[in-house]
Amino acid sequence: MALNPTHTYDKTPQPFIGLLFHALGGVAAASFYAPLKFIRKWPWECFYLAMRAFAWLLTPWIFAGATTPDLFGVLSRAPASALGWTFLFGLLWGVGAVTYGLTMRYLGMALGMSVALGFCALFGTLIPPIFRGELMAVASTTGGQVVIG
């Protein structure tokens, strides 16, 4: 099946689908640490490595293969720069996930969440304008100066 860039999609709001995906994400986020009670004697690093192997290696390929016709054909036609940026940001996401886990382990849930989410807000706000070369445009507004400050 070839990709059709001229295809128009139905833009009718689908609140039930949105609520369903939101609920599914909430269940996934809430049950993230549920397997911990079954492997209490494992070192943290072994548990995290096993969990990440499923989350980063196995599951994405299963879902991508199930939802993308001719997955490898699509990937082979993707520009090398797009794949490079994807791999780089995937690597950075992995580093962030590991440091998030270490934050929870060593700082505890309350302080760890505060620190981790503060950094997420900071980097999530500043990195896109830096990446696009628009940081000075952000810094020239009052709101941007507050965020940077």
Question: Distance from CA of residue 116 to its chain's centroid?
Answer: 14
Can you give the pLDDT at residue 82?
Answer: 93
| 125 CB neighbour count, 10 Å cutoff | 13
Task: Write the CB contacts of 116 (distance below 8 Å, at least 6 apart in sequence).
Answer: 99, 100, 103, 104
Residue with tokens 């369903």: 20
Is the pTM of the predicted complex or chain greater than 0.85? Answer: no
Helix, strand, or coil (residue 78): coil
Can you give the pLDDT at residue 84?
Answer: 94
Q: Where are the alpha helices (DSSP H) in the chain?
A: 15-30, 44-52, 59-67, 71-77, 80-107, 109-132, 135-139, 142-148
What is the residue type of 84? G
Instruction: Tell me the pLDDT of the chain averaged across its residues.
Output: 83
| 117 CB neighbour count, 10 Å cutoff | 13
Count CA within 13 A, CB hemisphere, residue 68. Answer: 13
CA distance 94 to 128: 18
pLDDT tens digits along 87-109: 998 888 888 888 887 888 788 88
